[in-house]
Chain A
Amino acid sequence: MNMFTVSGSPHVHGGESTKKIMHGVVIAMVPAILVSVYFFGLGAIRVLLLSIVASMFFEWVIQKYLLKGPLTITDGSALVTGILLAFNVPSNLPGWMIIIGALIAIGMAKMSFGGLGKNIFNPALVARVFLLISFPVQMTSWPKPSPITKGFTDTITGPTPLGIVKEGLGADPPKTISELAPEIPSYMQSLTGDMGGSLGEVSALALILGGVYMLYKRIISWEIPLSMLLTVVVFSGILWGFNPEQYADPVFHLLTGGMMLGAIFMATDMVTSPMTRGGQLVFGVGVGLLTILIRIWGAYPEGVSFAILLMNAVVPLINRGFKPRRFGAKPGVEIAQ
């Protein structure tokens, strides 16, 4: 006999799934992966593989033996965390540190909150900040980019553009921006990724490409990246207009450090960002402001990860304060009698 199914409506589903979203994010990260391999060579591949394998391993172990829940490594979220973690570290980071980072990301930042969807902070960023504070030397010695075509030169390290500016302005006697200009990579170099930095953050162009793909696939919405980048431009622009010798120009802020990576892949993380459009705008503005504040007046040259983590912490509050516009909340219409 035919056994019919009974369930509540709706009886059709749009076909969207967590897995598809995660795979979409991975596809969006492919350009940045390719660029990192091009500039950092084998080191990049090593970091990427290690980070991915370690993240997925920890997810599996914790889910199976500690939480004793259904296996979740196939949903792709650990894969995304793994790649993002690799994106956030230099390509010459010792392997054991990457494994510790993966453990922190998956074990502490994600699983200890109850797994996918329940974490407050972006796992990859928690791991990055943990590594940065625990191993400051290794985390800030950036290998100089050297295209694969020129052979591998893994040993030479140099500072990031943000580091150059921070150090130069804070030197005794302080240098001015124009004095530092020869050391700073050109806009073209920062667009393509020919500058020192973490694996995934160097090429703004590759990241934007991924961002456009995710916008097209509706994995992310425009609110967070746009409001964050606009805030950065406006805030740093005001300072730059005020004194161009003391403060770097807005385009420099946009293209260097983890700004693009943060705006496109980290701040937009669904789990740790607000739910409504208004909330997302506020979140983006907050991240932008905090980033510039840290970059210019903070102790660290880079502030994107701290800014995003700080704003992550206030997301529950933002969610409570910014409700979607309710249909029918407006007062009624005057009716002509």
Chain B
Amino acid sequence: MGILKTFALGGVHPEENKLSSNAPIEKLALPKQAIVPLGQNLGAPSKPLVKRGDQVKAGQLLAEAGGFISTNIHAPVSGKVIKIDNVIDGTGYKRPGIIIDVEGDEWLDDIDLSTDLKTEIELDGKAIIEKIKNAGLVGMGGATFPTYVKLMPPPGKKAEYLIINGVECEPYLTSDHRLMLEKGPEIVVGTQILMKALNVKKAIIGIENNKPEAIHHMQELVKPIDGMTVQPLKVQYPQGGEKQLIKAVVNREVPSAKLPIEVGCVVQNVGTAFAVYEAVQKNKPLVERVVTVTGKAVKKPSNLLARIGTPIHQLIEAAEGLPENTGKIIGGGPMMGKALTSLDVPVVKGSSGILLMKKEESVREPENPCIRCSKCTTVCPMGLEPFLLSKASKLGKFDMAESEKIMDCIECGSCQYTCPASIPLLDYLRLGKNKVGAIMRNRGKN
């Protein structure tokens, strides 16, 4: 295979712990009650279209996009809307959501629920984008950026490569891995649809080398297809970051504060490619997704196909229960995931996994003084100086943080992961990013 490609700067290699990589995707039973938060994507929350007492069918539009960067939300289950109220979501805050009491499993008639592979793409580019927009698709890797926005390059910019992100560099998570193994053909069709929508000739599926079966499987599938290749990549975190993946696959650097389209690339997750297939070929909006439930103490690490709105305790039960000594529940992977405050948090479009950490794993080491070892600088994939930036935001020197490019930080956590003094570097970096972002927005207004 020779030397495997990877990105240029920094990076770490955390323990992979892909405990559930051999667990096939299981369909999870319907919840009794689905809780559908209205803010499921990056950007503006959606506006509800139903009211209390309405009967809804699965796949029916529940809420429409509330702005340009926003998405539609569809009913993941059939039943009765019992209230529109504040519900706890992954952020730990109560935000508006729609609560549906599940009755049966009735779908809208025009949704094709069969599993037959449909390879012909009938729609043209514009219609595809329209369909993706209506189906409420967002980036399934966790960032939840509305997919259709990425498919419409700003005037003067043109995409050259479509990069499909099958890296899954987060430890523990295996949902993309299983999806590639079990829904490979659909992902390939989804990729073709995206290529058509973007009008690009080349698509590259990037997969890390710790998933050899997936690489092999996908390589077999793309063989007959023009312009589509699979690129095995060296295992290195955070390779799943858009900018890192582009660097690794096509060796282009997205300029600071710019989007991937600046270097002619559009990156989509494999989960998104699958969702695109379902939305365009099967007319099925985004109402379910694969969620990995894992952790060292979990009895049965699983990959579950769950409806949006299923409370996570139901997923944990499917993995044979919450372990006794669980100390932390994480929505997502251990490097970038969010600690959840409650088991009632529902699955949303961006939930890639639920990680249950043991008590002893969830305790941070006490903070020690910085010994200026510069390991954080060495591992930073964006070439930043986390020690300096965290200090600047701790001391409130936000002008310095800005000039030292704090906004370039992708919050991958490599710095904090590697810090021998256990300084919560990323906590302070996030704080600084929030403040600097607010300052920059204010400046824009004046």
Contact = CB atoms under 8 A, between A and B. Distances in A.
Interface of A: 2, 4-14, 16-18, 20-21, 75, 77, 115-118, 221, 270-276, 323-333, 335-337
A330 B334 contact: no
A11 B427 contact: no
Contacts of B332: 9
Main secondary structure of the interface of A (DSSP, over half): loop
A221 B375 CA distance: 10
A164 B145 CA distance: 72
B335 A333 contact: no
B416 interface: yes
Interface stretch (B43-51, B97-105, B297-305, B362-370): B362-370
Given A8-B430, A13-B417, A271 B339 contact: no
B258 A332 contact: yes
B368 A12 contact: no
Given A324-B383, A326-B382, A327-B243, A4 B339 contact: yes
Nearest to B14: A12
B357 interface: yes
Interface in B165-224: 171
B142 to A, nearest CB: 11
A328 B371 contact: no
B29 interface: no
Task: Name the residue in A20, A270, A327 with the highest tally of chain B Cβ atoms < 10 Å from its Cβ.
Answer: A327
Top 4 A-B pairs, shortest CB-CB distance: A10-B413, A275-B374, A335-B264, A117-B369
A9 B415 CA distance: 11
Nearest to A220: B373
Task: Name the residue in A8, A271, A274 with the highest tally of chain B Cβ atoms < 10 Å from its Cβ.
Answer: A8
B67 interface: no
Contacts of B421: 17-18, 117
Given A324-B377, A326-B405, A335 B341 contact: no
Contacts, number: 176
Interface of B: 8-9, 12, 14-15, 92, 158, 160, 171, 243, 247, 252-258, 262-264, 322, 326-330, 332, 334-341, 355, 357, 361-365, 368-375, 377-378, 380-385, 387, 405, 408, 411, 413-414, 416-422, 424, 426-427, 430
Contacts of B372: 117, 270-273, 275
Contact of B339 (A11, A12, A14, A328): A11
Contacts of B361: 12
Task: Name the residue in B330, B364, B371 with the highest tally of chain A Cβ atoms < 10 Å from its Cβ.
Answer: B371
A241 B374 CA distance: 38
B385 A275 contact: yes
A276 B264 contact: no
Contact of A13 (B336, B370, B422): B422
Contact of B262 (A10, A77, A332): A332
A200 B326 CA distance: 50
Contacts of A21: 371, 373, 420
Contact of B171 (A12, A118, A270): A12
A284 to B, nearest CB: 14
Contacts of B264: 333, 335
Nearest to A272: B372
B383 A329 contact: yes
A335 B417 contact: no
B337 A328 contact: no
Contacts of A325: 9, 383
A9 B336 CA distance: 5
Contacts of A75: 368
B328 A11 contact: yes
B420 A327 contact: no
Given A118-B369, A275-B385, A336-B160, A9 B253 contact: no
A116 B423 CA distance: 14
A276 B377 contact: yes
A328 B338 contact: no
Contacts of B385: 275-276, 323-324
A18 B371 contact: yes
Contact of B253 (A324, A330, A337): A330
Contacts of B371: 18, 21, 77, 116-117, 270-271
A327 B419 contact: no
A9 B328 contact: no
